[in-house]
Amino acid sequence: MKFSLSWLRDHLDFTASLDELCAALNRIGLEVEAIDDPTKRLSGFRTAKILEAVKHPDADRLQVCKVNAGPGMEELQVVCGAPNARTGLHVIFAPPGTYIPGSDITIKAGKIRGQKSEGMLCSLRELGLGEESDGIAELSSLAPVGEDYVYYAKLDDPVIEIAITPNRGDALSVRGIARDLAAAGVGHLKPWLTEAIESKISTPFNWKLSHSACSFVMGRVIRGVKNGPSPEWLKRRLDSVGVKSHSALVDITNYVMYDIGRPLHVFDAAKLSGSELNITHAACESFKALDGKDYVLGTEDMIIADNKGVQSLAGIIGGEASSVDENSTDIFVESGYFDAVQIALTGRRLGINSDARYRFERGVDPALVRNGLEAASALIISLCGGEAGEVVEAGKEPAWQRTATLRFEKLKTLAGMDIASHEAVTSLEHLGFEVREQNDEKATFAVPSWRHDIASAQPLSQAPTLTKEQAEKASLHVNEIEAECDLIEEVLRLKGIDTVAPQSLPPLNERTVFSQQTQQARHSMLRRLCAARGYMETVGFSFVSDQDASYFDEICESEKILNPIASDLNQLRPTPLINLLRALDRNLARGLGQNGEAAFFEIGPSFGKQGSRYVLSAVRGGVSARAPGKVAQEPDWLTAKADLLAALELWGVPDVSLTTTSDAPKYYHPGRSGVVRQGPKLVLGSFGELHPTVARHFGLTGTIAVFELNIGNVPMPKNKRKAAPDLSPLQPVRRDFAFLSPKEVDVQDLIKAARMADRKLVTDVRLFDIYEGDKLPEGYRSIGIEVTLQPKQESLTDQQLEALAANIERAVQKVTGAVLRR
């Protein structure tokens, strides 16, 4: 929110300096973001007169000018290239040492093509005040010579920009800011009164309310207006807050909105059809707005329509079809109260950001619907002439009246300050709160209409299942407590938060025990495991670019961000791998990977057609460190698989229950990846090397190993104490088997068959060799496995070992068709 010092003086009588004013704004929570003081920015520029302008002897496009710039500078020579420089012209002069903001240079005296130049004749663009021009600025022939330009042009009016939090819609007007400053002791608030204008003619339009998001609307016709450029004072006011001047009628509505916080809209009455203006639902129709864009409206969008169709998107932006122009003579002024949530939803969906939407979203004063219309009507008649018609209205003013109670003892316990009760009451009264009841313990206030952020008690009609006594108790425990905290916040804000004495937190009880939920403990275990295996944790945005997302999943329109914080963050991520790959690329490009290798992981959400899920994602790239007897190498799919299986083992998932299939997602290398399942359907995770096409898209070269763990699919451990392991005192026996197997047989099926040959004695089966070559029959390969036998009661005899080996051979042959190599 921007406002100028002169505009503030219309509502606040004060003597504070600019620095004192800004300090007060910061103290009461209206944080000052920027100060534009033209007297400092345009220091040094002065009005001057060209006494003589002759052609430069050595340059066709330059002129040598003699300039009178006032006392001490009565006759200076300036070389100027402007085509409009001529004798007798009053101009803006910058003497040597002046900083030119529009060109970011400092003027120095010197010579141009052999001619002395002692300054510069300036255009408004060079002062940062106008658009590009072909020549220097031309001042009035009555302009005095030697006066500071900033005072001559009446630019000595600093502009302050403050940050507004979403709950302070009342501070989106100069009047609201003045009210807060007066309550903080900076000057006195001037009265603001508006009288009803006498209606001399009838208004040929009536309102119809067909949308629940509008509770109250008013309007009136004004006939015989003359629309043209705004007076200079109005142009300067709007320009100071960054609003471009259009015409007197449009400028007046903008002025009233910034002045008192009341958005309005003006229609050209001659362009409206019929006698009824209906505030209703749109019908999926097209609408051309004042910004020149066409919008397709949804059925929930709220419009103002006449017999021809949509004329305005209520509370957001007007339509081009009924806009006022220089030919408008009869106008219709609208002032309505619209639901903040409805305005926000429509504005976000259509991507329209207007000053009216900004204010309605944060809450406008419902009691200003009528007064705002009267204030705008009076200003229109004053500047544009015309006769005001009768006011037509529909609905009724919302019931904004509510009370809030402050217990004085809470000022100490909640605010941490000793604030006298009479001081607290006075502060709230200055903000517009009216005392209804007061005693030594508490005070009850009527909340002003413009303070939407003060909590209110829920009407009994909204809780029909409660008795009156129950509703009153519920209100006391919820709404009244919130409202009381809001009042304390207001008192503390005006007192100054910086005056609150800092206090140390109480020491922790040595017996305090911090506990984690099971899921939190599991996540902590995962983080420690990943760190131990060389990964570094990251936390990334849940938003990515739709281009990146397309490499991992089909673009889901329901996951599109309607109002992204950046153009490359417009899609909910289908996997955290996108963020990790971007981080990997940055680190490898800068050589930040430890020993040439970098590895990152994240535990976070992913989004897709099946909904959201929580996953552990990890990437590893680069080259391992060189060491004696060890060759530097890139990570591969086996590394990723080992990391995934280690995570599952950490969570107690038995290895014997897992199966591996080759149907990894499309962004994995099709021949070097896999999916780990528990049973035939439950997918626990995936692993492998990144597909080369995806790697190239992210700027990565070499092998990139990745894995993902679907945290939600991993079963929680049963809440029972584990039995002590049954350890055998006997040594295990290991036997190797080499099976000749068809290539289409999965290795895991063969391993599973060997394990199931004797569940009591076979405790482990591991793959140690796969051989394919010309020494084997075509279509076959040799699979070598190591089987661990663990006797429990007595050592195994040679006969028993032979029998077990035969059982394993038969079991594998029965399930897979593989035979023992001889």
Binding residues for Mg(2+): 453, 486, 489-490
Return the structure tokens found at 387: 């006769």
Sign of CA dihedral 340, 343, 345, 347: negative
Amino acid at 73: M
Contact 543, 572 (CB under 8 A): yes
d(CA 272, CA 265): 14
Per DSSP, which regions of 264-320 are E strands? 265-268, 276-281, 286-288, 294-296, 302-306, 309-313, 317-318
Residues in Cβ contact with 111 at an 8 Å cutoff, skipping those fewer than 6 apart: 117
Return the structure tokens found at 369: 């619907």
Contact 667, 630 (CB under 8 A): no
Binding-site positions: 453, 486, 489-490
CA nearest to 217, candidates 262, 172, 252, 173: 262
d(CA 438, CA 104): 61
- CB atoms closer than 10 angstroms to residue 1: 19
Return the structure tokens found at 520: 């939190």
- CB atoms closer than 10 angstroms to residue 646: 13
Backbone phi and psi for residue 197, each to the nearest 5 degrees, phi listed first: -85, 135
d(CA 456, CA 573): 40
The H or E element that residue 641 is part of is helix 637-650
Residues in the chain: 822
SS3 249: helix
Is 681 exposed, middle or buried (CB count within 10 Å of its CB: 0-12, 13-18, 19+)? exposed
d(CA 718, CA 805): 36
d(CA 153, CA 138): 12
d(CA 167, CA 361): 10
